[in-house]
């Protein structure tokens, strides 16, 4: 189908390579199930050789998902390819995605190899992979800084060796759209067997052009787009799934191309990822940011009230966003609560539902009006608790003010035993984190980032705290929501510590 663009989602592989974005195996499965529900064609679930947890993550996703193709990432070496094949053993549709760098700069400085050696390694890897999996994708890493003649030589050879998907990444985010489009049209024209493969784009956002470049590559002939939810990924990230899909859909008149994405699932997927890894979505983020459909100026509001299309090129409903209604309050029953969650697309298991209900009753007690966005934060909080609670917050108390030193007392529980500590700090949050550090007693944990935002408006708004901590050169995130922002901050910190204490996720 010439008009079909395949969406290859790499949130769980390239996306998870963003500092602080690592996920537990269970979280990966949850995201993968939502990606499948949304209709992506391929899920790149991880880099199996890099750690036992990566292997476990890819294997679990491969065995649980029924419809989508699962890709496993591998360098062009046998150990990686064997690991990728093992992780895909239970996949209904498995793909090995192998790569080697083809630019002069990478071949010389990173690989220390001549082009002829690289070509041979690529062919050997693809042949070997083809014996292990039904489908093989080959990526020419740093393609946008490679010689087009060499690229077509290697592409022709790997297609002959059995690769049916050819990815030409802009690994460093260096390309500009016109140039990236030409890369595809020229390499495809120069490669005699190009019609035997689907060509793919994979763009990084270092200069803020990942989406524009990806779409240019599609105009040059590519029919697979590698994306990640919310654009997470190495450094400045990858092309954002939601932006690519909505650009193709909103400007169908120009692209004349289709994807298989149910766009109404986009917002929910974006939220799920954001809360899972604790990366807040910037308010002005295209498509999924809080302000993406907000009209502030009088002229704009007037225009939208008269005719929506004056300032809206797509509807919030088309990506599954609803305007925030007042939904529940302290008198709402559990039945109504569960029903409302289902309407919002959540069917948590019994344990998570119980946690969410507990949290809801606490919030509804303090807040007169509980909005859709509050409910989403509450239920995501409960789902986020899938990080094993090695440490559990039992009690927190703090005192402070402009004339006294902020002091906090914290009680944490571990294996049923309670531990209490107190500390002072620059403010209540600093004091609480100091007390938590004393209890947990792991030297070298550094708070890298802390942010607090209101989920909805008003004095009684639910506050959402996200933190990231660094330990042994790795970042771990945590999040929590509560009407009391200091409590939310404490829970978020404990959540990050628990995430840090989970079994290792990647090499």
Measured distance CA(96)–CA(88) in Å, rounded: 8
How big is the chain, counted in residues?
507
In the complex, what is the shortest distance from the CB of residue 23 to Zn ion, in angstroms, rounded to a whole number? Answer: 17
Residue with smaller CB distance to ligand KIV, 87 or 263? 87
Number of neighbouring beta carbons within 10 Å of residue 219: 17
In the complex, what is the shortest distance from the CB of residue 42 to ligand KIV, in angstroms, rounded to a whole number? Answer: 12
In the complex, what is the shortest distance from the CB of residue 159 to Zn ion, in angstroms, rounded to a whole number? Answer: 22
Q: Is 14 in the site for ligand KIV (CB under 6 A)?
A: yes
For residue 481, list its beta bridge partners: 464
Residue with smaller CB distance to ligand KIV, 210 or 500? 210
Measured distance CA(150)–CA(153) in Å, rounded: 5
In the complex, what is the shortest distance from the CB of residue 30 to Zn ion, in angstroms, rounded to a whole number? Answer: 23
Instruction: Among 9, 41, 141, 381, indicate the residue that binds ligand KIV (CB under 6 A).
Output: 141
- Residue 139 interacts with, from ligand KIV, Zn ion, none (CB under 5-8 Å by kind): ligand KIV
- Residue 434 interacts with, from Zn ion, ligand KIV, none (CB under 5-8 Å by kind): none
Strand duo 417-424 + 407-414: pairing? antiparallel
In the complex, what is the shortest distance from the CB of residue 13 to Zn ion, in angstroms, rounded to a whole number? Answer: 8
Strand (E) or helix (H) holding 254: helix 252-255
Residue with smaller CB distance to Zn ion, 162 or 173? 173
What proportions of the chain, in percent to the nearest 5, are helix, strand and coil? 45, 20, 35
Measured distance CA(57)–CA(51) in Å, rounded: 10
Residue with smaller CB distance to ligand KIV, 137 or 464? 137
Tell me, residue by residue from 198 to 237, as one string, x for binding to ligand KIV by CB under 6 A and - for no binding.
----x-x---------------------------------
Please give the DSSP secondary-structure letter assigned to residue 507: -
How many residues belong to the site for Zn ion (CB under 5 A)? 1
- Residue 99 interacts with, from ligand KIV, Zn ion, none (CB under 5-8 Å by kind): ligand KIV
In the complex, what is the shortest distance from the CB of residue 261 to Zn ion, in angstroms, rounded to a whole number? Answer: 21
Residue with smaller CB distance to ligand KIV, 99 or 267? 99
- Residue 141 interacts with, from Zn ion, ligand KIV, none (CB under 5-8 Å by kind): ligand KIV
Q: Is 169 in the site for ligand KIV (CB under 6 A)?
A: yes
- Residue 162 interacts with, from Zn ion, ligand KIV, none (CB under 5-8 Å by kind): none
Measured distance CA(142)–CA(135) in Å, rounded: 22
User: Do residues 41 and 6 lie in contact, with contact meaning Cβ atoms separated by under 8 Å?
Assistant: yes
Residues within window 2-41 making contact with Zn ion, judged by CB under 5 A: 14
Instruction: Among 102, 146, 171, 181, indicate the residue that binds ligand KIV (CB under 6 A).
Output: 171
Residues within window 173-202 making contact with ligand KIV, judged by CB under 6 A: 202
Q: How far is CA 182 from CA 31, 194, 205, 313, 429, in A?
A: 35, 15, 19, 29, 53
In the complex, what is the shortest distance from the CB of residue 17 to Zn ion, in angstroms, rounded to a whole number? Answer: 8
Instruction: Report residue 282 as tokens.
Output: 């910037």
User: Do residues 157 and 123 lie in contact, with contact meaning Cβ atoms separated by under 8 Å?
Assistant: yes
In the complex, what is the shortest distance from the CB of residue 117 to ligand KIV, in angstroms, rounded to a whole number? Answer: 18
Q: Is 386 in the site for ligand KIV (CB under 6 A)?
A: no
How many residues belong to the site for ligand KIV (CB under 6 A)? 9
Instruction: Report residue 13 as tokens.
Output: 């592989």
Q: Which stretch binds ligand KIV (CB under 6 A): 23-31, 114-122, 165-173, 176-184?
A: 165-173
Helix, strand or coil, per DSSP, at residue 298:
helix
User: Do residues 239 and 210 lie in contact, with contact meaning Cβ atoms separated by under 8 Å?
Assistant: yes
Residue with smaller CB distance to Zn ion, 14 or 36? 14
Measured distance CA(380)–CA(163) in Å, rounded: 40
Instruction: Report residue 227 as tokens.
Output: 């994306």
Residue with smaller CB distance to ligand KIV, 110 or 322? 110
Residue with structure tokens 């989602």? 9
Residue with structure tokens 């609480």? 432
Measured distance CA(395)–CA(189) in Å, rounded: 67
Q: Is 142 in the site for Zn ion (CB under 5 A)?
A: no
- Residue 11 interacts with, from ligand KIV, Zn ion, none (CB under 5-8 Å by kind): none
Residue with smaller CB distance to Zn ion, 169 or 177? 169
Residue with structure tokens 């190899």? 113
| Strand residues in 400-435 grouped as ranges (E) | 407-414, 417-424
Q: Is 44 in the site for Zn ion (CB under 5 A)?
A: no
Measured distance CA(36)–CA(131) in Å, rounded: 27
Interacting residues with Zn ion (CB under 5 A):
14
Interacting residues with ligand KIV (CB under 6 A):
14, 99, 139, 141, 167, 169, 171, 202, 204
């Amino acid at each position: 189908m010439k008009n079909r663009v395949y969406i290859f989602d790499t949130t769980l592989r390239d996306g998870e390579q963003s500092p602080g974005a690592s996920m537990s195996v269970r979280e990966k499965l949850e995201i993968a199930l939502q990606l499948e529900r949304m209709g992506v064609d391929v899920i790149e679930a991880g880099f199996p050789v890099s750690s036992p947890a990566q292997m476990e993550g890819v294997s679990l996703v491969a065995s649980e998902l029924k419809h989508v193709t699962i890709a496993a990432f591998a360098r062009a070496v046998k150990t990686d390819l064997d690991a990728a094949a093992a992780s895909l053993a239970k996949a209904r549709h498995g793909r090995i995605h192998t790569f080697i760098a083809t630019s002069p700069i990478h071949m010389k400085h990173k690989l220390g190899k001549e082009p002829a050696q690289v070509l041979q390694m690529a062919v050997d890897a693809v042949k070997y992979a083809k014996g292990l999996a039904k489908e093989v994708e080959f990526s020419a890493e740093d393609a946008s800084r490679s010689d087009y003649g060499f690229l077509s030589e290697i592409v022709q050879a790997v297609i002959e060796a059995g690769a049916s998907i050819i990815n030409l990444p802009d690994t460093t985010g260096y390309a500009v759209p016109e140039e990236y489009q030409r890369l595809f049209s020229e390499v495809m024209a120069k490669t005699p067997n190009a019609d035997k493969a689907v060509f793919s784009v994979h763009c990084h956002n270092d200069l803020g052009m990942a989406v524009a470049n990806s779409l240019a590559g599609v105009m040059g002939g590519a029919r697979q787009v590698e994306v990640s939810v919310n654009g997470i990924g190495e450094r400045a990230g990858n092309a954002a799934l939601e932006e690519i899909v909505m650009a193709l859909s909103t400007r169908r008149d120009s692209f004349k191309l289709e994807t298989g994405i149910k766009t109404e699932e986009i917002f929910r997927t974006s939220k799920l990822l954001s809360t899972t890894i604790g990366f807040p979505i910037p308010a002005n983020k295209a498509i999924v940011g809080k302000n993406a459909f907000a009209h502030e100026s009088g002229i704009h509001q007037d225009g939208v009230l008269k005719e929506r299309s004056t300032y809206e090129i797509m509807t919030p409903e088309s990506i599954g966003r609803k305007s925030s209604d007042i939904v529940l309050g302290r008198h709402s029953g559990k039945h109504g609560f569960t029903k409302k969650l289902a309407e919002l697309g959540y069917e948590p298991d019994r344990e998570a539902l119980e946690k969410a209900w507990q949290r809801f009753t606490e919030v509804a007690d303090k807040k007169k009006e509980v909005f859709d966005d509050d409910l989403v934060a509450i239920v995501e909080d409960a789902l986020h608790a899938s990080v094993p609670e090695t440490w559990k917050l039992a009690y927190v108390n703090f005192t402070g003010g402009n004339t006294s030193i902020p002091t906090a007392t914290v009680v944490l529980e571990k294996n049923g035993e309670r531990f209490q500590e107190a500390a002072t700090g620059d403010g209540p949050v600093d004091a609480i984190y100091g007390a938590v550090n004393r209890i947990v007693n792991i030297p070298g944990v550094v708070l890298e980032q802390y942010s607090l935002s209101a989920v909805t408006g008003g004095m009684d708004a639910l506050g959402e705290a996200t933190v990231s901590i660094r330990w042994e050169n790795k970042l771990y995130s945590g999040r929590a929501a509560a009407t009391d922002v200091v409590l939310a901050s404490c829970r978020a910190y404990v959540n990050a510590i628990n995430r840090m204490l989970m079994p290792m996720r990647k090499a």
